[in-house]
Chains A and B, each alone.
Chain A
């Protein structure tokens, strides 16, 4: 994969860097943009970010490995993140994680062979009033049960 980014992303990156008195501060927003475009942050993207911000690649790696939303390997087209924290758990999340796992044929932390799904368990998503919760890419889904999960997955398939 080439580390080039689109013109519009380049422009956006410039704007973002200008907000901060130190370039390095732009690292999370810049990585978010690049990860959205490339899907993950490999060595090449790491170098690109380092170059853009005028820092050493190791500084980028330190950040990428610290934050759970940043990924060093490709994720599925649909990244399913199920909350396994307290409220969601007592409202049935653990059974749903097993259910999803069986249905997709992958364990939490894995990506399906066709590259379609990644399943992850995460800590509280900040939506406990509608527990149990999960996210599919950037969207929240609450009040989950097996039927609702079936419906969501079916819609993704279409």
Chain B
């Protein structure tokens, strides 16, 4: 790739006090909102966002414009936007950077989105642990209200929008969109059966759009510079940049905003500084814990939704976890199974029983008490979850487990002495 990577979302992150509205506006902030509200119609925005091929940054990679298009136009119920700021996928920390460095960029995206879909109430569902960031968001909202960008009769155009911050309380499953809705309604975060999809029956039984923080933060840029420009930042059916979060055994862990389609190898070796302490690479988890693991000979791969799917993995949240030769694979498997058995909401038997059994077997192997047939049993239990559960957590657990067992069978077998 010869183009010089242009930063879009993180461009101004090192500007001092960017989180304050005055500084954001000096950098051109809220100009796009003004243009959109005063000069464009909702359908113009929808057309542009569709043409931008902006795919969801939360995990599933669904095109945002297409999702908005599913919301029925003429209903007499209120419609809602839920901003997914739950950021619970292990390895993921990019939304934290966006919200703490540039909360107004997210807010500007939220207002434009609500204008486009005809929404007058938005909730930002943020994970409970991000309490300090929730406060920053609330401050940003009140600044925007004072300037007339949020609230009643925004910029005197007659458009009304309220934005509220809603803190979660520690439950990974609430990042799943229908669990998020249940949680926002004041219940346990048990996912709902789909269909109906939230676009028609969502929050409080009303049409609802759910989008990730990074997804919505792209909207002002798309509306400022146009869909064509946006697509050029990435690849034809997957536009823009991604904020990749790299963690683990690299020299420079952190966030790296790069064009969609940047090679994983380049991300690790050029941007994140390569392996820490000169160790050998063992494996990479490319898109958060739910994404199946890749071996070193598989990392010469473009980081876009399709390419990762073709490699039987997932771009997910763009969270890259790098493992070196010192990390025993049984540790990785144990952490994965510990996580999913802890986070299963328990509604479906294959997920509840499957994850807890797999975790028991894996823990046994870890303690040196593995038995012959354990690996086969793990595979059986995991396969039994695939496609048999109410929400995608079942698959999200089964796929990475199956990949680790398949790709590192020899090492795992050596752990089982009996």
Contacts and interface: CB of A to CB of B under 8 A. Distances in A.
Interface of A: 19, 21-22, 24-29, 31-32, 53, 55, 59, 62-63, 66-70, 84-87, 89-91, 122-131, 135, 138-139
Contacts of B246: 129
A129 B254 contact: yes
Contact of B171 (A21, A26, A68): A68
A87 B169 contact: no
B292 interface: no
A91 B247 CA distance: 10
Contact of A62 (B87, B130, B188): B188
B117 interface: no
A69 B172 CA distance: 12
Nearest to A63: B188
Given A26-B186, A28-B183, A127-B93, A86 B332 contact: yes
B171 A28 contact: no
B157 interface: no
A24 B183 CA distance: 10
Nearest to A64: B169
Contacts of A130: 253
A128 B87 CA distance: 12
Contact of A129 (B166, B247, B338, B343): B247
Nearest to B335: A86
Contact of B93 (A22, A27, A86, A128): A128
A9 to B, nearest CB: 16
Interface of B is mostly: mixed
Contact of B253 (A123, A125, A126, A129): A129
B318 to A, nearest CB: 13
Interface residues of B, number: 55
B295 interface: no
A63 B321 contact: no
B155 to A, nearest CB: 23
Contacts of A29: 166-167
A127 B162 CA distance: 30
Nearest to A122: B170
Given A21-B204, A85-B335, A126 B96 contact: yes
Contacts of A24: 185-187
A28 B169 contact: yes
Nearest to A86: B335
Contacts of A55: 186
Nearest to A16: B164
Given A22-B186, A27-B186, A126-B129, 19 more contacts: A25-B186, A28-B167, A29-B166, A63-B186, A67-B168, A68-B169, A68-B171, A85-B289, A86-B90, A86-B335, A86-B336, A87-B91, A124-B91, A126-B96, A127-B96, A128-B92, A128-B93, A129-B247, A130-B253
Pick from B129, B166, B167 the residue with the most CB of A within 10 Å.
B129
A32 B331 CA distance: 35
Contacts of A19: 162, 164
Contact of A126 (B87, B132, B171, B327): B87
Contact of B185 (A22, A91, A126): A22
A128 B184 contact: no
A121 to B, nearest CB: 10
Nearest to B190: A66
12 contacts: A32-B169, A66-B188, A67-B169, A86-B332, A86-B336, A87-B90, A89-B331, A90-B331, A124-B91, A129-B245, A129-B246, A131-B253
Contacts of A26: 186
